[in-house]
């Protein structure tokens, strides 16, 4: 394994994957507690900073299991090192040895976005606009750094804590990409939230994130997705045509301003799609929502119906597979 991960972080001129053993360094600084999550090649422990007692999430990655994902992992780490924002889960520090890599991250304990909405007793347009604004601020920030997230979806939006007024946090930058002179055509993301231009194999950029925010906001206001069909190919056709509606009775109580906001982000033409910066100036965001009717019952019922464990919208579809299906359809 020596030398397989030998790339260097240009900012700090230190190897991301080196030979030196750092296990003792992390245990001297953090007390590692119970495992709170497991993945295909990693596990996450609670880590308590010994001198401050502050709690973090420590992701332990076994290197031999990620040799085929080396570039993607290094890309994600390099991007996380550049990011510092109150609504983005941060990489605090990194420890490395021959066999394992330890990523010390912000610990978020508030749960997933939709789960918290269902738990609420009262939920209004104002709540939805506050959530949308936080996501817009974070994505506007990374867009300013030339970074595209490329996989925005509710599962990647977590509450920082269980506090009633907890902020939302964006996580998972595994598909994030720094914009460069190369034309972006790589199919990636989750088709339910992916922009039409990605499914059409056209070049794309930052507007794909804006489209995803529009889809998420749509769901925040009614509880169900803007595109739905039992047949995957028909679903993708709906997305590629931006074929969605504000159905009655679910949208009857939603303000005109909110509908305009969603439509400004879910524009078929990415050049006409609102940017994050423009969206932050929209009256529904900067002026607060003008409808404080409690929409919790309707929204939570639809969320439970459309986003249960077996729902295709809850599953991590691979956009590459979606593209293949569309190509077969067009042949």
Q: Which residues, listed in sequence order, are joined to residue 77 by a DSSP beta bridge?
A: none
More confident residue, 269 or 23: 269
Q: What is the pLDDT of residues 6-47, one digit of tens each?
A: 333 334 433 444 443 446 789 999 999 999 888 777 889 999
How many CB atoms are located within 10 Å of the residue 65 CB? 12
Residue 204 φ/ψ, nearest 5 degrees: -145, 170
CA 98 to each of CA 21, 44, 101, 170, 218: distance values in angstroms, whole numbers, following the listed order: 6, 19, 8, 30, 46
Neighbour-count burial of 206, counting CB atoms closer than 10 A to its CB (0-12 exposed, 13-18 middle, 19+ buried): buried
Q: What is the pLDDT of residues 198-248, one digit of tens each?
A: 999 899 999 999 999 999 999 999 999 999 888 888 888 999 999 999 999
Q: Reply yes or no on whether the pLDDT at 127 is more than 60.
A: yes
Q: What integer is the mean pLDDT of 241-260?
A: 96
Q: 176 with 149: CB under 8 angstroms? A: yes
All residues at 6 or more sequence positions from 50 whose CB lies less than 8 Å from its CB, including other chains: 28, 29, 30, 31
Q: Distance (Å, rounded) from C-alpha 307 to C-alpha 131? A: 19
Where do the DSSP E strands lie in the chain? 8-9, 14-15, 30-38, 42-49, 55-62, 91-96, 100-106, 111-112, 147-148, 157-159, 168-170, 177-178
Q: What is the DSSP string of 95-157?
A: EE-SSEEEEEEE---SEEHHHHHHH-S---HHHHHHHHHHHHHHHHHHHHTTEE-----GGGE
What predicted TM-score, i.e. pTM, was given to this entire model?
0.86
More confident residue, 310 or 179: 179
Same fold, 8-106 and 111-330: no
SS3 59: strand
CA angle 162, 163, 166 (to 5 degrees): 95
Among 172-176, 276-280, 321-325, which is the least confidently predicted range?
321-325
All residues at 6 or more sequence positions from 168 whose CB lies less than 8 Å from its CB, including other chains: 87, 113, 131, 134, 135, 157, 158, 159, 160
What is the maximum alpha-carbon separation in the chain?
A: 63
Give the active site residues. Answer: 151
Token pair 């780490």 is at which residue? Answer: 77
Among 84-88, 96-100, 132-136, 160-164, which is the least confidently predicted range?
96-100
Question: How do the domains of the chain map onto residue ranges?
Answer: 8-106, 111-330
The topology under which CATH files domain 111-330 is: Transferase(Phosphotransferase); domain 1 (1.10.510)
Q: Reply yes or no on whether the pLDDT at 189 is more than 80.
A: no
pLDDT band at 69 (very low <50, low <70, confident <90, very high): confident
SS3 185: coil
Buried b (16+ CB within 10 A) or exposed e, 96-123: bbeebbbbbbbbbebeebbebbbeeeeb
Q: Which CATH class is domain 8-106?
A: alpha beta
CA 12 to each of CA 103, 146, 149, 219: distance values in angstroms, whole numbers, following the listed order: 16, 20, 23, 41
Token pair 């700090």 is at which residue? Answer: 12
């Amino acid at each position: 394994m020596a030398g397989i991960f030998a790339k260097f972080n240009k900012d700090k001129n230190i190897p991301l994957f080196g030979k030196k053993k750092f296990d003792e360094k992390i245990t001297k600084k953090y007390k590692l507690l119970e495992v709170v999550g497991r993945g295909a090649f990693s596990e996450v422990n609670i880590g308590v900073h010994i001198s401050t007692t502050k709690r973090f999430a420590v992701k332990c990655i076994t290197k031999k299991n990620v040799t085929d994902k080396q570039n993607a992992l290094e890309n994600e780490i390099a991007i996380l090192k550049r990011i510092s924002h109150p609504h983005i889960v941060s990489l605090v520090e990194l420890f490395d040895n021959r066999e394992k890599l330890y990523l010390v991250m912000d610990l978020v304990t508030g749960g997933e976005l939709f789960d918290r909405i269902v738990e609420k007793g009262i939920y209004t347009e104002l709540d939805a606009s506050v959530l949308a604004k936080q996501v817009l601020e974070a994505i506007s920030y990374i867009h300013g750094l030339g970074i595209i997230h490329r996989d925005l979806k509710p599962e990647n939006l977590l509450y920082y804590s269980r506090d009633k007024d907890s902020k939302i946090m964006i996580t998972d930058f595994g598909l994030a990409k720094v914009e460069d002179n190369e034309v972006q055509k790589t199919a990636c993301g989750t088709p339910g939230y992916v922009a039409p231009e990605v499914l059409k194999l056209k070049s794309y950029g930052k507007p794909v994130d804006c489209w995803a925010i529009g889809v998420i906001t749509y769901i925040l206001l009614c509880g169900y997705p803007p595109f739905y069909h039992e047949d995957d190919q028909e679903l993708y056709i709906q997305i590629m045509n931006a074929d969605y509606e504000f159905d009655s009775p679910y949208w009857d109580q939603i303000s005109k301003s909110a509908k305009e906001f969603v439509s400004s982000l879910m524009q078929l033409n990415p050049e006409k799609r609102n940017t994050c910066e423009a969206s932050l100036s929209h009256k529904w965001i900067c002026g607060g929502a003008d409808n404080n009717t409690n929409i919790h019952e309707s929204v939570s019922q639809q969320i439970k119906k459309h986003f249960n464990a077996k729902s295709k919208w809850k599953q991590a579809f691979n956009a590459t597979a979606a593209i293949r299906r569309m190509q077969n359809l067009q042949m």
